[in-house]
Amino acid sequence: MRPSLVLASASPFRRTLLVNAGLSFEARAAEIDERALEQPLESSGASPADVALVLAEAKAKDVARHFPGALVIGSDQTMSLGSRVYHKPRDLAEAAEHLLSLSGKTHSLNSAVVLIRDDAVVWRHVSTASMTVRRLRQGFIDRHLERVGAKALTSVGAYQLEGEGIQLFERIDGDYFTILGLPMLPLLSRLREMGAIDA
């Protein structure tokens, strides 16, 4: 009998990715304080990829308490430019600052996925995408944010690649699913190997 699957996320994007892939699962948001977990990691010099893994694991462990024996998928994404790790902008002014700081530079999106059963980590993975933003003028940034509005506040980079955010980029190196925040190909491969989904 295949183990039941649970997605430890409130993200509609992650849910949609699993639904579109034909997976049968339950979804439940984790109740953790991400900032409280991140701060000591960042101050200790943990890499953005390591931070994403720790957060993904914490989410999965929190949700696994409610689903004994189930295979729980935890995921998280961090965005970094050099040593700076970005968080979701608090308002449109901060979103504008984010976009201006990314202008003409290449940043990284680090997407982690972890599988946990009960309290045991059975698999972990991080995929990274490199995102090169074209040179942006302040006027364009202001008009762009006026058009997209509050949607800019829902992601760390203040952009949605699947929408108007695509206009910000000059080059993208990486997997589309990594950019959306859930590395689907390695996850599906691992679930098949474990017999959790049809192979």
**pLDDT at 134 > cutoff 80:** yes
Question: pLDDT for 71-90, tens place per residue?
Answer: 999 999 999 998 788 988 99
Q: Would you please indicate which residues are annotated as catalytic (active-site) residues?
A: 76
Q: Which residues contact 136 (CB under 8 A, 6 or more apart)?
A: 99, 100, 102, 103, 104, 168
Residue 16 has pLDDT above 60, yes or no: yes
Q: What's the mean pLDDT when you consider all of the chain?
A: 93
Kindly tell me if the per-residue pLDDT of 2 is higher than 60: no
Q: Can you tell me the mean pLDDT for 16-45? A: 90
Mean of the pLDDT values across residues 92-105? 97
How much is the average pLDDT of 107-121? 96
Question: From residue 41, how far is each of 30, 46, 92, 155 by CA, in Å?
Answer: 19, 5, 27, 21
Note the pLDDT of residue 3.
60
CATH 3.40.50.720 fits 5-193, yes or no: no
